[in-house]
Amino acid sequence: MDITEVAKVSGLPASTIRYYEEKGLIQSCGRNGLRRLFSAHVIERLALISLGRSAGFSLDEIAEMFTPEGPDINRALLLAKANELDRTIEMLTAMRDGLRHAAVCKAPSHFECPKFLRLLRIAGKNRFRQPNKLKENKLKREKQKT
């Protein structure tokens, strides 16, 4: 398949496909003139990359899951990401509920509403990014290997 076909089937722009190749996430198997050629298996790999990106994995984290023998998905990393998503869902659910309440709250001022004040506290806690637990786990694994 040439890069145009891959782009059409995968729904990704050719520039993204070239970038993924540059990052080592996918490999072309040749060229037809100036166009890169890919095996049909690249579609499955691109879908796996898209799934990982949708779940919040970085491209570097996804690249670690690919070996020459095929994907080697770290189950502990998946569990850590799932737990991170649970925390995000919990926070977003609380914010959604608070916003809905604030929209219909009968209090004269939002700052007199306990639910709105709770929403502000939640937002205040998230002003600074929390440390990336996945990167911390990666560093721990690397230290254990040496």
Q: Which of 27, 50, 71 is the last residue before a domain boundary?
A: 71
Cα 110 to its chain centre, rounded Å, is 34
Residues 6+ apart with CB under 8 A from 100: none
User: How high is the pLDDT of residue 45?
Assistant: 92
Number of separate domains in the chain: 2
Extract the residue ranges of the chain whose pLDDT is less than 70: 126-141, 143-146
Q: Which of 45, 71, 97 is the last residue before a domain boundary?
A: 71
User: How high is the pLDDT of residue 49?
Assistant: 94
CB 38 within 8 A of CB 26: yes
User: How high is the pLDDT of residue 86?
Assistant: 95
State the pTM of this model: 0.66
User: How high is the pLDDT of residue 14?
Assistant: 93
CB 48 within 8 A of CB 71: yes
CB 27 within 8 A of CB 37: no
Range of the domain at 13: 3-71
CB 125 within 8 A of CB 133: no
